[in-house]
Amino acid sequence: MTPANQPTAIHQAPDDALVADSRERAVRALLCQPQLKRLWSAQLVGGVGDMLALLVLVVLVLQTAIAAGSFGGGYRGAALAVTAVFGARILATLLFGAVLLGPLTSLTSQDGPLDRRWTMIGADGLRAVLLVIAPLWIDWTPENALAILLVTAFVAGVAERLWTVCRESAAPALLPTPPPEGATVRPLPDHMDALRRLSLRTTFVALPLAGAALVVAALVNNLLGTGIDWFARHQAAFGSYVAAGLFAASLSVLTALELPGTRTPRARSPLEGLRRPRSGTATETGRTGAIPLLVLACAAVSGAVAATVAVAVLHAKDLGGGPVLFGLLVLVLTGGTVVGIRTAPKVLPALSRRRLLALAVAFTGVALLAAGLVPDVATVLLIVALAGIGAGIAANTGHTLLDQETEDQRRTRLTEHLHAVVRVSVALAALIAPLVAALIGPHRLESGKFVFAHGGAAFTLMLVGALLLPVAALVLAKADDRSGVPLRHDLRDALRGGDDPAQALAANGFFIALEGGDGAGKSTQATALAEWIRAKGHEVVVTREPGATPVGKRLRSILLDVSSAGLSHRAEALLYAADRAEHVDTVVRPALERGAVVISDRYIDSSVAYQGAGRDLSPTEIARISRWATDGLVPHLTVLLDVSPEAARERFTEAPDRLESEPAEFHERVRTGFLTLAAADPGRYLVVDAAQEPEAVTTVVRRRLDLMLPLSEAEVKAQEEARKAAEEEARRKAEEEAARKAEEERAEREREEMLARLRAEEEERKRRE
Ligand code: TYD
């Protein structure tokens, strides 16, 4: 392709995307090589088998230890047994991956006695056999079963190392450039990089796949257990056979593999690059000095994931589950991690990556804390999945940031360093976590109704989660690239995803916008309304756009001066928005905050109508610019004074300005623009026919404001006084009524007494006669 055909590509993708894309293509290109694809398939299948074998051995050892009461029995014994499996595996990796790497490499080298392909086949075969018989030991020799299973874990680990050493030294020979006969292959760095990526990715996905395989196998096992008693007693048996089957599958793929007999670079130790690369210059700690912290963060989250996997079997048991739950925990955690790694670049893209790293680490920590605290299985699975996602996001983000810390040439060594540190942290965490669970043991606290019963695994999860929090705090404190900007602020913005500010009414005061074409009579109405509202006791601020502020005045003269004819439409839109931003910030908002009523002659709608509908710009874009300029402030009421452009033109008294001089069609479009806006939100608009007499227009607006305008302090006081006066009057009336009634009663009583007296006198008189 000639350079002339290329500019589109340059415009389309920013550098990072291009690089990521080319890396992706390089990885895919590798898989087009049939032999390399075969080797990779074997790696994937064998890798899943290896991880499944490890999980199955953990279950088998746990069950054996519990049945035999090994390591002192009880919870501690079980946790120590789990520690022992991871210990055996790590010992094998360390011994044969690092200490004995030299001899191992020479054995499997071009001139060595061991053929690489046959060694891999042998390692697969051996592991297949080991796993076929693994579930049987407990029946054959119950007292030795634990030791034999631990040896099995060790030997499987050694076989894995042998396999990997052979693969690592064989794979470069399969890379695209055909090597000259007999010479050492020196593959292109790009290819090596792609190979490393592919291998790393395969390792990553092997764990969730193994978790899924364990879940399925354990379910089948349970099903078989309902009919066959042996399976009911050996919960991990079927899983063990699936692992054996995977090794057999890997083996059969390898039999068809053709490896050229070429010299290749030697295999690498898992510890290679552990020492921080020294470059002699200040780049030792990175461009910004953040390398140690970034490595720490990556190591911490990786260790946390490993620790969780390591205590998962114990935690599953504490939650009342078996191998199915164990498999599910591993699946959701490591599956979550893979999802996190893949989605990290798309997570809150507007947020600083360093802040995202700190947040992701903290999120993982809080999730693990919660996972240890919650006793409900479904909730734990959900939380553990979230912890996995957080860890994946943190790991990927940390890695990306680390890449930025140094130049291309040093990057490979730095990546190596990171991977070595992560491997060590994973190994240590897998070893220490079950040990800690054993040390803590189960605890039960009871106080009244509240019962707090947790196993050592739950406490370990909480501890791991708690340990991540200071790491997050450290990253935020020491490596923050946005210090001074509150995190809350950044986060809110990032969550909004760079969208417009949310539209909102002012909490205080009352904001009225008067809109309409030129000559609609806005200023007349503004004055009349202001007078009326002031009379109600409100503070009223009458203002206008453009030109209500000192800067606005200068902008106004640029905008309306006929000499600015030909001003680009976008520049025009931005100048109006600039005037508005200054206006809202220095005039409108402060007045509203004081509680004033603000009447603005023109606001956002003028821009949407004139620059959007009138010109050839998009009204939505114009509205968005203004929303940004005003930080989303919307009027409580927009009064649209609607009048036909011809009628309005007759009212012009002065020479028309730049916009007034626009042709009639322009003003027609502006009018429709205003009406469209009003139709979209009738609640906030009042459309008035502005061809009427100004007094009639004011009356219509006043009627609406009567319903909407909050009462002024004076009105509130007057109403309060009126209420008090009415109460007083009512009280007075009630008192009068009471007095009148009392008087009537008294008169009645007197009358009755008089009658009684008369009656008595009458009787007396009669008696005397
Ligand atoms: P205005 O102050 O109403 O003009 P006058 O004082 O001459 O009546 O508005 C000035 C001009 O600016 C008017 O023609 C409309 C135009 N305008 C826009 O095009 N976009 C805008 O955002 C605003 C506020 C005004």
Mean pLDDT for 58-64 is: 95
Give domain limits for the chain.
31-174+193-266, 289-480, 504-711
Q: Among 518, 574, 660, which residue has the most ligand 1 atoms within 8 Å of its CB, making it the best to mutate?
A: 518
DSSP 210-269: HHHHHHHHHHHHHHHHHH-HHHHH-TTHHHHHHHHHHHHHHHHHHHT--------PPP--
Gap between the Cα atoms of 275 and 272, Å rounded: 8
Å from CA of 530 to ligand 1 middle: 20
Q: Which residues partner with 15 through β-bridges? A: none
As for ligand 1, residues whose beta carbon falls within 6 Å of it are: 518, 544-546, 560, 576, 602, 606-607, 610-611, 657, 659-660
**Three-state SS annotation for 91-143:** HHHHHHHHHCHHHHHHHCCCCCCCCHHHHHHHHHHHHHHHHHHHHHHHHHCCC
CA distances from 724 to 448, 729, 736 (A): 56, 9, 18
Q: 281 pLDDT exceeds 50? A: no
Query: Ligand 1, atom 20: nearest CA belongs to which residue?
Result: 607
What integer pLDDT is reported at residue 16 of this predicted model? 56
Q: How crowded is the C-beta side of 150, counted as CA atoms within 13 Å? A: 18
192: left (phi over 0), alpha (psi -120 to 50) or beta: alpha
CA dist., res. 698 & res. 690, Å (int): 10
pLDDT at 288: 78
Say what percent of the chain tops pLDDT 70.
93
Q: Give, using CA atoms, the residue closest to atom 11 of ligand 1.
A: 659
Confidence tier at 112 by pLDDT (50, 70, 90): confident
| Region of poorest pLDDT, from 412-416, 470-474, 668-672 | 412-416
Which tokens hold the place of 347?
Answer: 């997570």
Tell the CATH topology of 289-480: Growth Hormone; Chain: A; (1.20.1250)
Q: Measured from the CA of 604, which atom of ligand 1 is nearest?
A: 22
Q: Which residues pair with 687 in a beta bridge?
A: 640
Same fold for the domain at 31-174+193-266 and the one at 504-711? no
Per-residue pLDDT of 209-229, as tens digits, reads 999 999 999 999 999 999 999
Length of the chain: 769
pLDDT class for 300, splitting at 50, 70, 90? very high
pLDDT band (50, 70, 90) for residue 433: very high
The tokens describing 647, both together, are 């009628």
Residue 547 CA, ligand 1 centroid: distance in Å? 9
Q: Hunting for tokens 């792609």 — which residue is that? A: 194
> For 165-169, 176-180, 247-251, 736-740, which range has the lowest pLDDT when averaged over its residues?
176-180
CATH class name, domain 504-711? alpha beta
Quote the pLDDT of residue 279: 55
Do strands 510-516 and 637-642 pair parallel, antiparallel, or not at all (unpaired)?
parallel
Residue 191's pLDDT is what?
A: 79
- Choice between 280 and 383, residue whose per-residue pLDDT is larger: 383
Residue 319 has pLDDT above 60, yes or no: yes
pLDDT tens-digit series, residues 486-501: 889 888 888 877 677 8
**Dihedral angle sign, alpha carbons of residues 230, 235, 236, 239:** positive
Tell me the one-letter amino acid at 64: T
Please give the pLDDT value at position 270.
79
Q: Read off the pLDDT of residues 497-545 as tens digits, 9 standing for 90 and up.
A: 767 788 889 899 999 999 999 889 999 999 999 999 999 999 999 999 9
Ligand 1 mutation pick, 515, 522, 527, 545, max ligand atoms within 8 A of CB: 545
Q: How confident is the model at residue 254 (pLDDT cuts 50, 70, 90)?
A: very high
- pLDDT surpassing 90 at residue 409: no
- Residue 461: how many other CB atoms lie within 10 Å: 32
572 contacts 559 by C-beta, under 8 angstroms? yes
Q: Which bin fits 228, alpha (ψ -120 to 50), beta or left (φ > 0)?
A: beta
Task: Measure the CA–CA gap between 229 and 513, rounded to whole angstroms.
Answer: 82
629 CA distance to ligand 1 middle (Å): 17
Rounded to the nearest angstrom, the distance between the alpha carbon of 644 and the centre of ligand 1 is 17
Ligand 1 atom closest to the CA of 601, numbered from 1 = 3
Question: What are 596-608's pLDDT values in tens digits?
Answer: 999 999 999 999 9
Q: CA-CA distances (angstroms) from residue 709 to 172, 537, 595, 704?
A: 79, 12, 12, 8
CATH fourth-level superfamily of 31-174+193-266: MFS general substrate transporter like domains (1.20.1250.20)
Q: What is the mean pLDDT of residues 618-629?
A: 93
> Range with the lowest mean pLDDT among 6-15, 242-251, 313-322, 690-699?
6-15
Question: What is residue 653's predicted lDDT score, i.e. its pLDDT?
Answer: 79
Rounded distance between C-alpha atoms, residue 78 and residue 316, angstroms: 13
Give nearest CA residue, ligand 1 atom 23.
Answer: 606
3-class DSSP state of 634: coil
Q: Within 13 Å of residue 153, how many CA atoms lie on the same side as its CB?
A: 27
pLDDT tens-digit profile of 140-183? 998 899 999 999 999 999 999 999 988 888 888 787 665 555 55
> Which of ligand 1's atoms lies nearest the C-alpha of 579?
24
Secondary structure of 712-756 in HEC code, one letter for each residue: CHHHHHHHHHHHHHHHHHHHHHHHHHHHHHHHHHHHHHHHHHHHH
Q: How far is the CA of 546 from the centre of ligand 1 (A)?
A: 6
Rounded-to-integer distance, Cα 439 and Cα 460, Å? 10
Whether the pLDDT of residue 283 is over 50: the answer is no
Rounded alpha-carbon distances, angstroms, from residue 417 to 95, 197, 284 = 20, 15, 12
The average pLDDT across 189-205 equals 84
The pLDDT of 739-760, averaged and rounded, is 95
DSSP, residue by residue, 383-443: HHHHHHHHHHHHHHHHHHHHHHTS-HHHHHHHHHHHHHHHHHHHHHHHHHHHHHHHHH--E
